[in-house]
Structure 1
Amino acid sequence: MKIIVVHPAHMDYRQEVLESLNKKYDTTFIFTKQGRGQEGVREEQATIPPEWKSKVLKSDLLIGRKDIGMYLRLIKELLSGKYDLVLTSTSWYICWLIARIRGKKFVFMTEFWYWQDSSLMRKILNRFTKIIVKNSDSVFAMGTNAYLSCIKSGIKEERVFMHPQCAVDYSKLSTFNLRARYNLEDEKVILFLGRIVKVKGLDYLIESFLRLEHEEKNAFLIIAGDGPDRIKYEILAKELGIKNFLFTGRVSKKEISSYYIACDLFILPSIFYKQSYEPWGLVINEAMAFSKPIVATNAVGASADMIENDCNGYIVEEKNVEELYKSMKKILSNEESMKSMGIKSREIFENKNNYSNFCKILNQSIEYAIKLP
């Protein structure tokens, strides 16, 4: 069977999944954002294996941030390509429409679950997406929130296959001593790692840490990563009078293990911002691999699958400074509980961050679709 896989870019956390598809099917990979980052932030993308049949559709024909040339090339590939099934996690409007025109099977691979009609255009696109979900041959939902969103769209339950997102286990990589580098041996380190953009909710984290710092004198906040809002948040932290904080700038894949090892608590305070949110948040999985307790908001897709309240961390309401503060204080104030939460995080990671099961269920969604009349 010949399949086309349309995907934004090749990342290390997708290597095992895409390789399994390449081995099982006659697969052509089409990458639509290889070489481009998200929201102006450079991504550390993986090299596409030369033995794969693949095409990168990036062009220089841009309107705003939209690569119009890429869309035109994608339409051409889908109209002229020889395939039985399209599996896509991006540009699904084009992929679904052309698959239907050509009478090909269509599998929607999605992590999305929050559909905010923030404008007339967004309302139209959201309605179209729900029509696509309902009329897909099958859907592979990456996480509980995505699964429930699909069911709500009206697709038959037997057509939806679900598995949590999986991330690479970096816990065995070599590291440097980050605490020694920044003289943090006696500090209780709270870590955020990711793109520094509005949707990450860092202003709420900074405000909640201000309260925590007044009571926990050895609490220390590390904000690791880069993005267009970095300077704004650095200024905010200084204006509020926070003393124990550090903005590190961009962190490479080779360095992230050192950051996860050094922290006592990992936090992802993302918010709902217009139509943006955190569909999953792979840093949650990554931190759990290092046996760390987690605090995340209800705007983070991973929270529904990876966090058990008062067991390995807490799920708090987005934009709620009080809940962020209380959850951080509760974890950091009890060394024994903090350690047991970390152990539980690793157990949940090992159980749910299972690439073998992920690939198996993804294949089931493909096989289901191809057998439909």
Structure 2
Amino acid sequence: MMRTALVTNFCPFYRVKLFRILRERLNATFLFFSDATERNWESLNPRGGSEFAVVPLHEGGAGRWRVLWRLARHLWTADYDVLIQGVSGRQAVLVTACIARLKRTPLILWTGMWHHPSTLFHRLTFPLVRALYRRADALVVYGTHVRDYLVSLGVAPERVFIAYNTADNELYNRAVGEDEIARMRSELDAGARRVALFVGRLEREKGVDVLLEAVALMAPADRPLLVVNGRGPRMDELKAYCAARGLSTVRFLAYVPNAELYRYYALADVVVMPSRTTREFKEPWGLVANEAMNQGCVVIASDAVGAARGGLIEDGENGLVVPEGDAGALKQALERALRDDASRARLSAAARATIAGWTYERMARGFIDAVAFVATRRGRE
């Protein structure tokens, strides 16, 4: 049976079911090179991976260069038929690509990138990144937005396979009773207000300041109860803004475990994802959209959110999309979603219907098809 290696940083909780399928269908071994200390990972979130065939490259507190040596040694000595490499980890990508080329092993890159960062380092390394994309035997991507970006860089469309980014629907679509929702509303002092929810890191790229500005632009009587669930360096700054603008209907929760988030999605009428593009970041996807749609939330996302450009959120059909950084447009979208009960109910029903089809089996199909593609090509050579 064909042997596949999947090299990535670690196994977040939302990848466990995907990796189970890949283990069974692709005979995959997983090589994890990180201890999950990445800036964009919430350290309180759970991780998985213990049930898989795993090569823990970071074991024993190994530093970067030892991890890379272990990766190179393992890939060189092991007999894999296909290598799949996630694009997180700059040096790991180069190591895997070099080993694949030296051993003439098909290389598949897995990426959610649809915008190259504009820092000096990233501008200097862009030609190398573009060459890696063009020379990979196949690429697996989060959505249509990434496919279109890669094609614009000269990647042949037939080498790009979409593994639509997926959350654990079973975790987020659990029923929440009216009594529970009433209790939560009381604890948050929601009164009769509609509820808007933000879930994510409190960093500049997440655009929470734009969301607060949009709420401040609304008439006081029309403002929703805004629940902000997340941690990050901008917490104090955002709280100070609320105090200065008299935004008394904003509640900061700091952190809610993922196993409990479904309750807040059930509480919310809308979930807002106001991400913006920065020199270092553009939202690859935003799984909060998947999670929220399981409870029928109307997701209002900026056009800098991958899920709003890659096939999940369709403006006016199952959610709303606004220009990034535009507080006025976001205000109008909030008012539209919160005032019009019939429109909100229609979008809510469409969101539930859409997300029901976004399964891990469907996501895995992108990987399976990519492996079949490179295996067929190799058989012809």
TM-score, structure 1 normalization:
0.92
Aligned counterpart, 1:172: 174
Q: How many Å apart are 1:22 and its aligned residue?
A: 1.0
Q: Given residue 164 of structure 1, which amino acid in structure 2 is its aligned partner?
A: Y
Q: Are 1:88 and 2:89 counterparts?
A: no
Aligned counterpart, 2:294: 289
Q: Are 1:230 and 2:230 counterparts?
A: no
Aligned counterpart, 1:45: 46
**Residue pair 1:20, 1:359 contacting (<8 A) in 2 also:** yes
**Residue pair 1:165, 1:282 contacting (<8 A) in 2 also:** yes
Q: How many Å apart are 1:143 and its aligned residue?
A: 0.4
Q: How many Å apart are 1:103 and its aligned residue?
A: 1.4
Q: How many Å apart are 1:100 and its aligned residue?
A: 1.0
Q: How many Å apart are 1:113 and its aligned residue?
A: 0.6
Q: Are 1:131 and 2:136 counterparts?
A: no
For residues 9-28 of structure 1, the C-alpha deviation after alignment (integer angstroms, 9 at most, x for no partner) is 21232122211121123322
Q: 1:76 aligns with which of 67, 73, 78?
A: 73
Q: How many Å apart are 1:49 and its aligned residue?
A: 3.4
**Residue pair 1:34, 1:56 contacting (<8 A) in 2 also:** no
Q: How many Å apart are 1:254 and its aligned residue?
A: 2.1
Aligned counterpart, 1:158: 158
CA distance in 1, matches of 2:174, 2:145: 30
Aligned counterpart, 2:14: 13
Q: Given residue 321 of structure 1, which amino acid in structure 2 is its aligned partner?
A: A
Relative to 1, partners in 2 of residues 1:124 and 1:18: Cα closer, same or farther, differing over 3 Å?
A: same
CA distance in 2, matches of 1:112, 1:269: 18
Q: How many Å apart are 1:79 and its aligned residue?
A: 2.9
CA distance in 2, matches of 1:8, 1:310: 36
Counting helix residues as a fraction of each chain, which structure ranks higher?
2
Q: 1:204 aligns with which of 187, 206, 210?
A: 210
Structure 1 residues 276-285 or 179-188, which shifts more? 179-188
Q: Given residue 291 of structure 2, which amino acid in structure 1 is its aligned partner?
A: E
CA distance in 2, matches of 1:228, 1:129: 30
**Residue pair 1:211, 1:325 contacting (<8 A) in 2 also:** yes
Relative to 1, partners in 2 of residues 1:228 and 1:77: Cα closer, same or farther, differing over 3 Å?
A: farther
Aligned counterpart, 1:194: 200
For residues 210-231 of structure 1, the C-alpha deviation after alignment (integer angstroms, 9 at most, x for no partner) is 11253505x1111001122222
**Residue pair 1:208, 1:325 contacting (<8 A) in 2 also:** yes
**Residue pair 1:93, 1:128 contacting (<8 A) in 2 also:** no
SS in 1 for 2:84: strand
Q: How many Å apart are 1:43 and its aligned residue?
A: 4.5
Relative to 1, partners in 2 of residues 1:215 and 1:311: Cα closer, same or farther, differing over 3 Å?
A: farther
Relative to 1, partners in 2 of residues 1:70 and 1:255: Cα closer, same or farther, differing over 3 Å?
A: same
TM-score, structure 2 normalization:
0.90
List aligned pairs for 1:335-354, cutoff 5 A.
335-351=341-357, 353-354=358-359
CA distance in 2, matches of 1:27, 1:254: 27
**Residue pair 1:278, 1:299 contacting (<8 A) in 2 also:** yes
CA distance in 2, matches of 1:154, 1:15: 33
**Residue pair 2:147, 2:157 contacting (<8 A) in 1 also:** no
Q: Given residue 362 of structure 2, which amino acid in structure 1 is its aligned partner?
A: N
Relative to 1, partners in 2 of residues 1:308 and 1:45: Cα closer, same or farther, differing over 3 Å?
A: same
**Residue pair 1:303, 1:315 contacting (<8 A) in 2 also:** yes
CA distance in 1, matches of 2:42, 2:125: 25
Q: 2:365 aligns with which of 355, 360, 363?
A: 360
Q: Are 1:334 and 2:336 counterparts?
A: no
Structure 1 residues 354-363 or 328-337, which shifts more? 354-363
SS in 2 for 1:306: coil
For residues 47-100 of structure 1, the C-alpha deviation after alignment (integer angstroms, 9 at most, x for no partner) is 3233x21022236466xxxx4443343233333332121111133233212211
SS in 2 for 1:361: helix
SS in 1 for 2:174: coil
Q: Are 1:36 and 2:41 counterparts?
A: no
Structure 1 residues 53-62 or 25-34, which shifts more? 53-62
Aligned residues: 365
SS in 1 for 2:108: strand
List aligned pairs for 1:231-310, cutoff 5 A.
231-304=236-309, 305-310=311-316
Q: How many Å apart are 1:174 and its aligned residue?
A: 6.3
List aligned pairs for 1:136-155, cutoff 5 A.
136-155=136-155
Structure 1 residues 32-41 or 355-364, which shifts more? 32-41
Structure 1 residues 328-337 or 174-183, which shifts more? 174-183
**Residue pair 1:313, 1:341 contacting (<8 A) in 2 also:** yes
Structure 2: gaps spanning 5 or more residues: none
**Residue pair 2:112, 2:141 contacting (<8 A) in 1 also:** yes
